[in-house]
Every structure is written in C-alpha cells, then in structure tokens.
C-alpha cells in the first residue's frame, strides 16, 4: 500500500514537472510568435485598415497578459472610432481549461476590448454599433504553428461568424464568414439578405489591402428595394475569384453569376433571367498594382475627409480653408491615377485583360466579349478612358434587342464595339 501511494505521488510530481516544463516551453515560443505576428502585420506595404501596437506583455504562471492598441492608417476610420485598447489573455499549452471546454495546443488567446480605457464618446459609439456585447476573438494555436481563430460580430447591420486558420510559418490564411440578418440602407432604398456565405484562402499579403488567393461568395434571395422599382428584385448571387502572385506579376480571374430574377425583372420591364460576368487578367505588374492601390486608397481617404469636413464645419471660415486644401489634393490625386496605371500597372505591353458578359431569358442569350489593352497613344493621359483601348463583340437576343433599340440608335442584333482615344465606335 505504501509503495502504491509512493508511486502515485511520484507520478503526480512527474506530471507537474512535465506540465510546468511544457508551459514554460510553449510560453516562450508563443511570446516570440505573438510579437513576430504583430511585426509582420505592420510591415505589409500600404495604408493599413488595422495597425497593432504592443503596449505590454506580462508573463503569468499559466500564460500571459498583453495590452495592445489598435489604430487605423485611414483617417476617416481613425476619426470615427479612434484607437481601440485591447486586452489579450494567454493560456499556455499543452492543455487548456476554458469556460467552454478542455482542449490541447501550444497557446490559447482571448482578445477583448478594454472598455475601461475607452473614452465616453468612443464607448457610446461602439455600444451603439454593436448589439449586446462588444466583439471578441479567440485564437488557439496548435502544435504545427497553425492559429485557429473565431470571432462573433453582432451589429445593427448584420450578424457575422468568422472562423479560419492562419499559418504562422507561411502566413497563409483560409477561413469563412457567415453573415445573417444583413440590412443596408434606409427604406425605400435598401438591401436585405437572410444569409451571406464567404470563403477565402489567401497567400502572403503583398499590400495591406490586398492578399492574392481564392474567394467565393454566395447570397440567396438578396432583396433589392428602390424607390424607382415597382416591386423588389430578388436575386441569387454567386461569385468566385482566383488571383495569384508569381514572378512579380498578378494573374487570375473574377466571375459573378446572378440567377432567379426573372419574375421580379419582368414586373419591372427588364428582360433578364440569369446573367454572368467574368474578368480575366494576365501579367499585371505587382509593383505597379501596389503603387496604384495605395494611391486609390489615399484618394478614397481624402474624399471621406472632405465629406466629414463639409458636414462638421463646412460653413465656418476655417472649415472652408480645410475643404479647399482637401479638394486641391483630391484633384491632384485624381489626375495622377491614370498616369500611374499607364506607366506602372500594365507590364510593358505583356499584360492582357479580357471580359465576358452574358444573359439569358425566354428568347435566348445575349453576349458581350472583349479585350482591354493599353492605348498606343499616351501623350494625353487625362483620364482612364484616354489610356485604354477596348474591342468587343456583341450579340443580342430578341427581348434585349427590342428593349435597347427603343432606347438607343442600335439597329442590328450583332455588331462590334471599338473604344479608342476616348471615343466609342460601332461597326
């Protein structure tokens, strides 16, 4: 009996030693992974929607407590929400005891908003935006350095469940977003959907706003209400894309299909049952795309700043001075965008962009197929229309032809379109 009792005590002590060693080992590795992940996120090129700053990291007996500050490089986001203080609580592996279950892995994180450090206006704004509880994120890292994440978001616009896996070694990311009770706009102009499903798989990010990879979206019974529609449109939408970055070039496609809109469409005089849209591109310069996307994001940022300045103090002298400066920057950026696309975006004539649009109804199928290339004459680059040449072939079914011929001067069902030097010609 004494030997049995002694053996149990020995095994218990051995278990405690092994558990403590595991906690110490995974604690050190997790701290390094955590700090590296923040550093990698902040080093991605471009203005970041979310930027993380580590304020403190304190180890505990079973894990750690960390404080972070989330901010945005986009001023219109930062002005609305401000800096968000985050509390991150860590449990070290290999065994976790949480409120919901018992699991294994190398690290278990729970990230929540530090409500006590929020300002009064900031707290009121976030609590008005999110229903019931502020969002939180749970991240569990397994032994293969793959971080499984889960977040629930409940707002006045939608409810969302986000799940996925982020590979800490390769920085690949895959997951899904399930959105329910989606409502956008104000009646009579409003979009509603009971459920939206999005899946994605990303490679390593090349800009803060762009991650090459695949994405798919599915929306059943998207209801479109508009004051000019006699009755709401009900649409089923499916979309998918596949974009890769290889040898400093981007290649890929985007495809969208619309279905189940015949009844609503006919009620509003629009002869359409199904429609499909595809865009394919090859040999787009990655560096040119990065520069173009950063300039586009900056322009959107300036326009949002101008909109808010107009609303808040547009009638005051200092507000008018601010608006004048913003409008000058907007005008300058708008003129620079076509030049950026002409000089950097297309890869020395190797780039190719093609598109296809098609629709079906009771009388047949209509198609629009064409190619987009860089114009040969770039001496007068003043807008996007002046730097591209578009060639397309059009075939119209009876219903579509009947509708279009009454609205335009088109007098045949098949023809070619040529857009060049900012002029559209039909052959």
Give me the DSSP letters along 226-264: -TT-SS-EEEEEEEEEEEEEETTEEEEEEEEEEES-HHH
pLDDT of residue 19: 47
Rounded to an integer, what distance in angstroms lies between the CA atom of residue 21 and that of residue 72? 39
Rounded to an integer, what distance in angstroms lies between the CA atom of residue 33 and that of residue 112? 19
Residue 268 has pLDDT above 80, yes or no: no
- Higher per-residue pLDDT: 160 or 74: 160
Please indicate, yes or no, if residue 201 is contained in any of the structural domains: no
Please indicate, yes or no, if residue 259 is contained in any of the structural domains: no
Domain with 354, as residue range(s), is 293-426
Please indicate, yes or no, if residue 261 is contained in any of the structural domains: no
Confidence band, pLDDT 50/70/90 cuts, at residue 230: confident
Q: Which of 413, 374, 404 is nearest to 391 (CA)?
A: 374
Query: What value does the mean pLDDT take over residues 376-395?
Result: 73
Query: What value does the mean pLDDT take over residues 197-211?
Result: 79
Q: Phi and psi at residue 294, in whole multiples of 5°?
A: -65, -40
Express each pLDDT in 113-131 by its tens digit.
888 888 887 788 877 778 7
Q: Do residues 220 and 239 lie in contact, with contact meaning Cβ atoms separated by under 8 Å?
A: no
Please indicate, yes or no, if residue 360 is contained in any of the structural domains: yes
Residue 14 has pLDDT above 70, yes or no: no
- Higher per-residue pLDDT: 28 or 341: 341
Please indicate, yes or no, if residue 216 is contained in any of the structural domains: no
CA distances from 181 to 152, 189, 192, 314 (A): 14, 17, 8, 36
Residue 279 has pLDDT above 80, yes or no: yes
pTM of the model: 0.74
Ramachandran region of residue 349, left (φ > 0), alpha (ψ -120 to 50) or beta?
Answer: left
pLDDT of residue 381: 59
Contacts (Cβ under 8 Å, ≥6 apart) of 65: 56, 57, 58, 87, 88, 89, 90
Please indicate, yes or no, if residue 177 is contained in any of the structural domains: no
Same domain (yes/no): 299, 158: no
Select from 132, 164, 196 the last residue of a domain: 164
Residue 197 has pLDDT above 90, yes or no: yes
Please indicate, yes or no, if residue 370 is contained in any of the structural domains: yes
- Higher per-residue pLDDT: 395 or 71: 395
Please indicate, yes or no, if residue 127 is contained in any of the structural domains: yes
Confidence band, pLDDT 50/70/90 cuts, at residue 177: very high
Q: Which of 69, 59, 2, 3 is nearest to 31 (CA)?
A: 59
Rounded to an integer, what distance in angstroms lies between the CA atom of residue 400 and that of residue 202? 39
Domains: count for the chain: 2
Residue 163 has pLDDT above 80, yes or no: yes
Contacts (Cβ under 8 Å, ≥6 apart) of 6: none
Select from 164, 199, 226 the last residue of a domain: 164
| Beta bridge partner(s), residue 334 | none
- Higher per-residue pLDDT: 109 or 208: 109
Rounded to an integer, what distance in angstroms lies between the CA atom of residue 214 and that of residue 241? 5
- Higher per-residue pLDDT: 86 or 230: 86
Residue 265 has pLDDT above 50, yes or no: no
Query: What value does the mean pLDDT take over residues 261-276?
Result: 59
DSSP state of 169: T
Neighbours of 332 (CB within 10 A): 11
Task: Using the structure block, give the residue that is written with the tokens 């979310």.
Answer: 50
Select from 164, 183, 208 the last residue of a domain: 164
Residue 263 has pLDDT above 60, yes or no: no
Q: Give percent of the chain with pLDDT exceeding 70.
A: 77
Same domain (yes/no): 159, 304: no
Region of poorest pLDDT, from 15-24, 84-93, 174-183, 398-407: 15-24
Query: What value does the mean pLDDT take over residues 379-404?
Result: 77
C-alpha distance across the termini of the chain, in Å: 101
pLDDT of residue 18: 45
Neighbours of 330 (CB within 10 A): 16
Query: What value does the mean pLDDT take over residues 132-153?
Result: 84
Give me the DSSP letters along 252-300: EEEEEEEES-HHHHHHTT---SEEEEEEEEEEEEHHHHHHHHHHHHHHH
Same domain (yes/no): 4, 142: yes
Contacts (Cβ under 8 Å, ≥6 apart) of 202: 172, 173, 174, 211, 212, 213
Region of poorest pLDDT, from 97-111, 253-267, 335-349: 253-267
Rounded to an integer, what distance in angstroms lies between the CA atom of residue 276 and that of residue 89? 47
Confidence band, pLDDT 50/70/90 cuts, at residue 218: very high
Same domain (yes/no): 303, 155: no
Region of poorest pLDDT, from 116-130, 138-152, 341-355: 341-355
Q: Taking all residues of the chain, what is their mean pLDDT, rounded to a whole number?
A: 77
């Amino acid at each position: 009996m004494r030997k049995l009792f002694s053996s149990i005590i020995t095994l218990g002590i051995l278990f405690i030693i092994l558990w403590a060693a595991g906690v110490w080992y995974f604690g050190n590795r997790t701290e390094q992974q955590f700090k590296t992940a923040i550093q990698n996120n902040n080093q991605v090129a471009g203005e970041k929607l979310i930027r993380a700053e580590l304020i403190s990291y304190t180890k505990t007996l079973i894990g750690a407590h960390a404080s972070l500050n989330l901010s945005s490089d986009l001023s219109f986001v930062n002005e609305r929400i401000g800096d968000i203080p985050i509390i991150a609580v860590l449990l070290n592996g290999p065994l976790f005891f949480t409120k919901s279950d018992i699991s294994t892995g190398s690290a278990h994180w729970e990230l929540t908003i530090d409500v006590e450090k929020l300002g009064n206006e900031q707290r009121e704004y976030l609590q008005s935006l999110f229903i019931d509880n502020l969002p939180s994120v749970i991240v569990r890292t397994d032994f293969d350095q793959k971080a499984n994440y889960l977040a629930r978001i409940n707002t006045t616009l939608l409810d969302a469940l986000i799940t996925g896996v982020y590979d800490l070694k390769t920085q690949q990311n895959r997951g899904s977003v399930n959105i329910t009770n989606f409502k956008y706009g104000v009646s009579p102009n409003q979009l509603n959907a009971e459920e939206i499903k999005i899946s994605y798989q990303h490679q390593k990010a090349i800009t803060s706003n762009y991650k090459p990879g695949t994405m798919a979206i599915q929306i059943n019974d998207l209801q479109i209400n508009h004051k000019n529609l006699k009755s709401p449109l009900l649409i089923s939408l499916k979309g998918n894309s596949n974009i890769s970055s290889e040898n400093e070039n981007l290649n890929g496609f985007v495809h969208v299909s619309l279905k189940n809109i015949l009844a609503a469409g006919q009620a509003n005089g629009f002869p359409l049952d199904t429609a499909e849209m595809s865009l394919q591109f090859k040999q787009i310069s990655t560096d040119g795309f990065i520069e173009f996307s950063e300039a586009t994001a900056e322009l959107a940022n300036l326009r949002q700043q101008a909109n808010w300045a107009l609303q808040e103090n547009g009638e005051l002298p200092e507000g008018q001075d601010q608006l004048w400066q913003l409008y000058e920057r907007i005008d300058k950026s708008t003129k620079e965008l076509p030049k950026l696309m002409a000089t950097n975006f297309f890869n020395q004539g190797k780039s190719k962009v093609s598109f296809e649009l098609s629709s079906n109804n009771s009388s047949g199928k209509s198609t629009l197929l064409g190619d987009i290339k860089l114009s040969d004459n770039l001496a007068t680059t003043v807008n996007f229309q002046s730097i591209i040449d578009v060639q397309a072939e059009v075939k119209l079914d009876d219903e579509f032809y009947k509708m279009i011929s009454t609205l335009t001067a088109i007098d045949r069902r098949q023809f070619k379109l040529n857009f060049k030097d900012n002029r559209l010609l039909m052959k």
